[in-house]
Amino acid sequence: MSSQNKDYLTSITKNMKNALIALKYGINDRSKIDEIRGLVGQNKFGTDEKMDHKNSQNLMDKIARNLKINSEKFSEFKKLDDEIVHFKHIGVDDEYKDGLEAKIKSIRLKGENYKGVTIDPDFISHYFTPVLHSENKFAWISHIIDDESETKFLKHIKRLTPVLNNKYEWWFFSRNDESLDNIYVPYIKDAKGHKFHPDFIFWAQKGDTQKIVLLDPKGLVFSEWQHKIDGYKKIFDESKTYYKDDINLKIVCRVVNDTADVPDEYKKWRIKFDEIASVF
């Protein structure tokens, strides 16, 4: 909704009684009206000037439809089991398989290249071994890091490795393949439930405190990820410390993008590539 829509919604929840709202907008379930009041009071509605509703009835209808969706509930943090499996599904055409396997086995101290695919040992202590990535997409290999924004992201992380090594006792990260892996944040868009799969997930620990960082380096316009951030905010409070098995847990989520046009209230959720260190 636009800022004008949000102001209108705030006004009617302050000045109109439930019975009048029900009559005017056809919302017969009074609990939904109470829920809308609560969401307005908690400032849960974000704004996007490109999503302006000229008709107040359409605005209220859309909000009411969204409230009917049964959002998934977050219960607790857990150790990973089979949530990350993409590395088991890397596919290679037979004619390239033997050459790639031989190249992987030969690598010890430096990264090498096979048919345009980089076999990267720099993250050997921090990622699945080996890390396979490419500047280009190839038909003969699948489920490796070959998206332009993701390969750019890896270069920045590589430069940050000494900083992270000094700051934390240990740290790991993984790519999150939305077609295979099962780590996601539920969110609502267009009155339908969706899943937000951040491209990369980091776990970094020092002492009894662990930080979980979700980073999504995609070249998306703001309207595409606003709903994802809204879904994340409904589940996690970044000012809060969570606890699991005597570990203090902090969680952070950011979209990494150098060019997206972002409204003021969402600016904290977008960082540029050269600002990645700030979330750690």
Domain ranges of the chain: 1-68, 73-84+142-280
Cα–Cα distance for residue pair 81/85, rounded to 1 Å: 9
Q: What is the pTM of this model?
A: 0.63
CB 176 within 8 A of CB 221: no
pLDDT of residue 108: 45
Question: What per-residue string of b and e applies to 13-37 under the rule 16 or more CB within 10 Å gives b?
Answer: beeeebeebbeebebeeeebbeebb
Measured CA to CA in angstroms, residue 249 lies from 61, 182, 184, 211, 238 at distances of 38, 20, 18, 6, 10
pLDDT of residue 147: 62
How are beta strands 270-271 and 117-120 bridged, if at all?
unpaired
CB 229 within 8 A of CB 253: yes
Residue 123 falls in which region: left (phi positive, over 0), alpha (psi -120 to 50) or beta? alpha
pLDDT of residue 141: 36
Helix extents (H) in the chain = 3-15, 18-25, 30-41, 56-67, 94-106, 148-167, 222-235
Nearest to 265 by CA among 28, 57, 6: 6
pLDDT of residue 266: 85
pLDDT of residue 213: 94
Residue 163's identity, in one-letter code, is V
pLDDT of residue 104: 52
**Residue that is written with structure tokens 């890390």 in the block:** 131
How many residues are listed for the chain in this entry?
280
Task: Tell me the helices (H) and strands (E) count for the chain, helix number first.
Answer: 7, 13
pLDDT (tens digit, 0 to 9) for every residue of the chain, 280 residues total? 888 989 998 998 889 888 888 888 888 788 888 888 888 888 878 787 878 888 888 888 888 877 766 556 666 776 666 655 444 445 454 555 555 555 555 544 444 544 444 445 555 555 544 444 344 443 333 344 556 667 778 888 888 888 999 999 998 888 787 766 677 888 877 767 788 888 888 989 999 999 999 999 875 655 568 888 888 988 899 999 999 888 999 999 999 888 767 778 888 999 998 999 999 9
